Structure 1
Amino acid sequence: MKPSSYLELPDAADASEQDSQVPLPEGARRVAVIDLGSNSLRLLVSQVGGDGRIQVLNCVKSMVRLGEGAFENQALQPQAIERTVSVLKTFARTCRSYGVSKVVAVATASVREAENGKEFTERVKAETGIDFSVISGPEEARLITKGVEASLPRADYPRAYMDIGGGSTEFSVSREGELLAAESLRVGCVRLADLFFKDFPDAVPKAKFREVQDYVRDKSVMPFKRLLAKKPRELIASSGTAGAIASLALSMRTAEQTSVSSDITVITIDEVRAVVDKICSSTAAERAALPGMNQKRVGVIIPGAAIFLTAMEELGFNQISITDRGLRDGVLIQYLETEGLIPGRAVESKQRGHAVKSLAKTFQIDVRHAKQVSFLSRSLFSQARELGLTDLPKEWEALLGYASWLQETGISISYLRQRQHSAYIVANSDLLGFTQRETHLLAAIIYSSKYYGKSHPFFIRLSDDDWKKAAQAGIFLCLAVGLDKSHRSAVTGVTLQRSEKGLTVRVESDSPSPIERDCLERMAKSIAKALNSPIEILWTDPIGGEVKDGVPETAIKAWRRKKANRKKKSKLKKAKNKLKKKHHKK
């Protein structure tokens, strides 16, 4: 295995001042990726040329162990926070010295599970300018797969991927760029070290190691079944734990056995078992002296090895390939694809759409209605932007489309409070392709479409600024839902126009739509207030032509007559029931 390309950053040492300002070639741009795990903090600085060629300028890693004590206390600990913030300040200076134009920062298990995770990211942004996106476990697995797969030769069979982190371990199965499965287990080397090894600073008995393996098996039964159902033929591992185990395995080989490619190391399950025997029988000092062993990994290498070996045994692999690619590479590739600097944007968009529609169909939503609401909400938003009615960027159009598909997921729980339940379901879902913030933005759009101006629910964690933006987007979702209240897709188009009186909403339908018209009338005042403009509604009907503020009068009268008759029948029924009760008492 080739030596790691990472420079180990000693604690908070200021190693960046040596790069006063690295010259930037013409047409190139520099991007930095920061990967904040529960054990390690990594920085990757890359330069992207005008031709899309990527050149790595610097790789830095510091084992800050942010997750130390976080999982048992449900909160990031003060000392771990200070260590991490200190190193992040150094990373920020390094990025400035390279003239980085964009820093893409992601945080994983320790931050997403901690009760003070939001406060931590806000402090980091205030003190360093680095704005972290917190990603879900399955999304982490997807990005790891993306980063690792990009370095591998193409294969027409499924491959399984494993990345052992400090707080969680991610698994996935992919074939030729298509993600077939993504799993995140709440077992990581730091989490297990806190749970099992506080009383074992030195040698670890075999019985204790088996106890940890049993714990991992118990947590992974169903996820491993789902992975095996995809029939992977190869297992590839990334992460520092995997690299450390590979280095130890190589050091135990004879000269004749050693054969390492430049990018991939292959070791057998027997070699992994030999490594386990070696580290479990060693004291902490002896483990620290082993080849390739970082002093800060001494306390977490045994629980990491327990996860590593258990996965090989349960998934049925006799050998495993180790790579030094990982999450940061996947994050970089995704950013470059999103910005159009390299091909792949269509694949990313397809993944997000598939995740949203899969969740929607799980709750058996009305697909025809979802498509109609998506079409109308995006159309309204696009026109509102052109007219200057909203200052939300164009990216929110896609979020509105996704929210349209998910706004009815809560109807299976309660019709009357469906939007609140829908928001809760979305906020607590692991949507592949979305960051935690984006998932909560979708939930906030759905919630605001019904409860505009109401207090924010506890389960959606967003800043006040994000809530204001989501409330703006929620207005267009509210309008779109109202324009298909009957689920008939009768409205064929809606046009927003500026007029002397304010804003004209021109609605076209292929049949009389009294329910939609009545719904629009009831919403008119609140929408006018939200858009800060008086509203005039014009409804175009194929039978009655254009009618101001409504549909043809005959259709309205017929609908209102039916409604009045239903009320009358209901009152008569209640009166009869009262008489019956009185008669029964007598």
Structure 2
Amino acid sequence: MTLQTDESYAAIDLGSNSFHMIVANYVDGRLQIIDRIKEMVRLASGLNENYDLSDESMQLALACLQRFGERVKEIPQANIRAVGTNTLRQARNGEFFLSLADAALGHPIEIIAGQEEARLIYQGVAHTAYDEVNKRLVIDIGGGSTELIIGRGYEIYSMDSLYMGCVNMGKRFFDDGKIKAKRISKTVLYARQELESIEAAYKKTGWDFALGSSGTITTIRDVVQTRGWCESGITVTALSKLIDELVAVGDSKAIEFEGLSEHRKPVFVSGVAVLFGIFEALGLEKINVSDGALREGLLHDLIGRVHNEDIRDKTILDVSNRYGVDTEQANRVKETAENLFRQVSSDWKLSEKEDLKLLLWGAQIHEIGLSIAHAQYHRHGDYLVTYSDLAGFSRQEQIKLAKLVRGHRRKFPLEEFESVSGNSRLSVIRLSILLRLAAVLHRSRSNNTLPEIQIRANAHKINLLFPAEWLFNHPLTLADLKTEQNYLQAADIKLTFQ
């Protein structure tokens, strides 16, 4: 894809408290923000005790996404990225909601892990105000989680996502809106407990100054500065004065602070208490506030993908190195898998932009399970890919990649692909078959070059064409293909070769 200097991009963040959309043009190597839209949906407040989203909360969210969809309908699909965070990570009926949300927005929505959320937040802050000299602690209090990151420039040293946000803490400690000193103390203590396991490590890593990002912290900044309690950023003294005044007010509905919207009142005190807990745990005296956040990080990540600077490529390389993958074998399988892909991509309706990348990543790490044990190593690899923090990957992408690893050998696990969303399932199954065939053809792990192999495929039949006598002269490969023939037959795929 050739990038035009005036192309538009959109990043959409389905947060637990607010939904955000940012639209920008990429001109002469720089992003120019042309539109920002924010709607306070408070999705996390719609989670019941069984972690199901209520019908009402889903309807509010879908209505918002329909409005966002109208705004971005003229932007190329490849230039849009939409992600969901903590609440959608937790919701038991999240997959059902996503099927409706994708349709409302007119674009697929990815669910990202907490570590990935933290990485993107830091990238948003770093790109907004680059600093290659100072080490920065970045704090982002969302609706359902709080992210903390230490980094310098674009490099991250530590990052964590903690289960505490202004919405879920509001439901837990301030559900009736009453503000009492004891409740604030309990919220602060809860925050301290969440931070307990990382507090010492963060202090050891250290930072030169701290920055806050996103709505909770920017609102607190606006309030304390309007009240005249500090001139810049947020100080611990200003935060203490704010807590005293909130206790004096006594009820969220009665809060009247300049800079505080009606929509944020129900979750304001819980956000203040969480921030105070962070100040206490990390010994902070003051934080400044950044204009960059998750959506800016998403935009820059998207631009990187278009410019072939995809963080996911580096992640796969890091995973390969971490688990001691035989890179020579991986590259042999990768090259053959790509060759097979290019011959069938049209008939199988596979895309070079997404499907080929997934196949090549799968080829690079299909043997990572060997680092645990040879027996059932494809299952071990599936587990590692599913549950590792893979920078740049969404939850859906990790599941697809894991199933390629799981399905590359032995019995073809058709039932395993049920975990892949319906729109992508058939493509991932077909990619898995290509990876299996490439692995079979290189089972000898030999450096000998394969002959030119032609492949023809339709819905239920695959035909491999070898040069005359080649299979006769390579009986082990012939035997391996006959075994694979039986495996694929069980999946209603007829494999023939000659």
Give TM-score scaled by structure 1 length: 0.74
Task: State how far apart, in whole Å, the 2-side matches of 1:339 and 1:462 are.
Answer: 25
Per the TM alignment, residue 484 of structure 1 is displaced from its structure 2 partner at its CA by: 5.6
C-alpha distance in structure 2 between counterparts of 1:175 and 1:412, whole Å? 33
| Alpha carbons of structure 1 residues 187 and 285: separation in structure 2 relative to 1, 3 Å | closer
What SS class does the counterpart of residue 150 from structure 1 fall into? helix
Report the alpha carbon displacement of residue 533 of structure 1 after superposing the two structures with TM: 6.1
- 1:422 is aligned, of 375, 378, 381, to 381
User: Which residues of 2 match residues 1-150 of structure 1 at below 5 A?
Assistant: 28-49=6-27, 51-70=28-47, 72-96=49-73, 99-102=74-77, 103-150=80-127
Maintained 8 Å contact 1:202/1:282:
no
Is 1:339 paired with 2:306? yes
**Would the aligned equivalents of 2:343 and 2:455 in 1 still touch at CA under 8 Å?**
no
Q: What does 1:557-568 correspond to in 2, within 5 Å?
A: none
Where do 1:46-445 residues align within 5 Å?
Answer: 46-49=24-27, 51-70=28-47, 72-96=49-73, 99-102=74-77, 103-199=80-176, 201-205=177-181, 207-253=182-228, 258=231, 265-284=232-251, 288-340=255-307, 345-346=308-309, 348-349=311-312, 351-353=314-316, 356-357=319-320, 361=322, 365-368=323-326, 371-388=327-344, 391-394=349-352, 395-404=354-363, 406-410=365-369, 415-445=374-404
Q: Alpha carbons of 1:71 and 1:331: their partners in 2 closer, same or farther (altered >3 Å)?
A: farther
* Offset at residue 423 of structure 1 (A): 1.7
Q: Partner of 1:299: helix, strand, or coil?
A: helix
Compute the RMSD of aligned alpha carbons: 3.2
The question of 1:504 aligning with 2:466 is answered yes
Q: 1:397 to 1:298 in 2, by over 3 A?
A: same
CA distance in 2 between counterparts of 1:138 and 1:507 reads 53
Q: Distance in 1 between matches of 2:148 and 2:477?
A: 47
Q: CA deviation at 1:497?
A: 2.4
Match of 2:433 among 475, 486, 491: 475
> Following TM superposition, by how much is the alpha carbon of 1:415 offset from its aligned partner in structure 2, in angstroms?
4.8
Query: Could you tell me how far 1:505 is from its partner in structure 2?
Result: 7.8
1:462 corresponds to 2:437: no
- Mapped partners of 1:414, 1:469: distance in 2: 29
Deviates more, 1:376-385 or 1:493-502: 493-502
CA spacing shift, 1:479–1:274, aligned 2, 3 Å = same
Partner SS for 2:453: strand
Decide whether the 8 Å contact of 2:127 with 2:292 is kept in 1.
Answer: no
Partner-residue secondary structure (3-state), 1:34: strand
Q: How far, CA to CA, are the matches of 1:480 and 1:520 in structure 2?
A: 11
The whole-number CA distance in structure 2 between the counterparts of 1:534 and 1:147 is: 51
SS in 2 for 1:38: coil
TM-aligned CA deviation for residue 350 of structure 1 = 5.4
Say whether the 8 Å CA contact 2:355–2:427 is kept in structure 1.
no
Distance of 1:396 and 1:374 partners within structure 2: 18
Displacement of 1:79 = 1.0
Residue of structure 1 equivalent to 2:483: 522
1:377–1:400 contact (8 Å) kept in structure 2: no
Alpha-carbon shift at residue 185 of structure 1 (Å): 0.8
1:421 deviates by 3.7
TM-aligned CA deviation for residue 429 of structure 1? 2.7
TM-score under structure 2 normalisation?
A: 0.86
CA shift, 1:479, in A, is: 3.6
Given residue 60 of structure 1, which amino acid in structure 2 is its aligned partner? I
Query: Could you list the per-position Cα deviations for residues 101-133 of structure 1 after superposition, in whole angstroms to 9, with x for gaps in the alignment?
Result: 343211111112111111111112223413211
The answer (yes or no) to whether the contact 2:403–2:416 under 8 Å persists in 1 is no
Question: Which amino acid letter does the alignment assign opposite residue 441 of structure 1?
Answer: K
Larger radius of gyration: 1
Cα shift readout 1:488-533 (whole Å, capped 9, x = no counterpart):
x43343344239985228999xxx9997775455325656999866
Between the aligned partners of 2:114 and 2:297, the Cα distance in structure 1 is: 14
The answer to whether the Cα contact below 8 Å between 1:158 and 1:232 also exists between their aligned partners in 2 is yes
CA-to-partner distance for each residue in 1:290-317, whole Å, 9 max, x for gaps? 1111112112112211221222222232
In structure 2, relative to structure 1, the CA distance for the partners of 1:349 and 1:111 (3 Å cut) is closer
Q: Which residue of 1 aligns with 2:460?
A: none
1:535 maps to what in 2?
497
**CA spacing shift, 1:350–1:126, aligned 2, 3 Å:** closer
Instruction: Report the Cα distance in structure 1 between the residues aligned to 2:187 and 2:469, rounded to whole angstroms.
Output: 64
What displacement does 1:418 show?
3.1
Structure with the greater relative contact order (CA < 8 A, sep ≥ 6): 1 or 2?
Answer: 2
State the one-letter code of the partner of 1:352: T
Asked if the contact 2:148/2:160 (under 8 Å) is kept, the reply is yes
**Count of residues in Structure 1 that have an aligned counterpart in Structure 2:** 481
| Partners of 2:330 and 2:468 in 1: CA distance | 18
AA matched with 2:97: F
8 A Cα contact 1:268 1:319, kept in partner:
yes
Contact 1:352–1:432 at 8 Å: present in 2 too?
Answer: yes
Q: Secondary structure at the match of 1:291?
A: coil
For 2:234, what is the secondary structure of its paired residue? strand
User: Residues 137-162 of structure 1, C-alpha deviation per residue, up to 9 Å, x if partnerless?
Assistant: 11111111111111114232321211
Q: Any conservation in 1 of the 2:11–2:298 contact (CA below 8 Å)?
A: yes
- Residues in 2 aligned to 1:452 and 1:472: alpha-carbon distance in whole angstroms: 15
Change (3 A) 1:275 1:484: farther
Deviation readout 1:406-425 (Å, 9 max, x if unpaired): 44455576654332343233
Structure 1 residue runs of 5 or longer lacking an equivalent are: 1-25, 259-264, 537-586
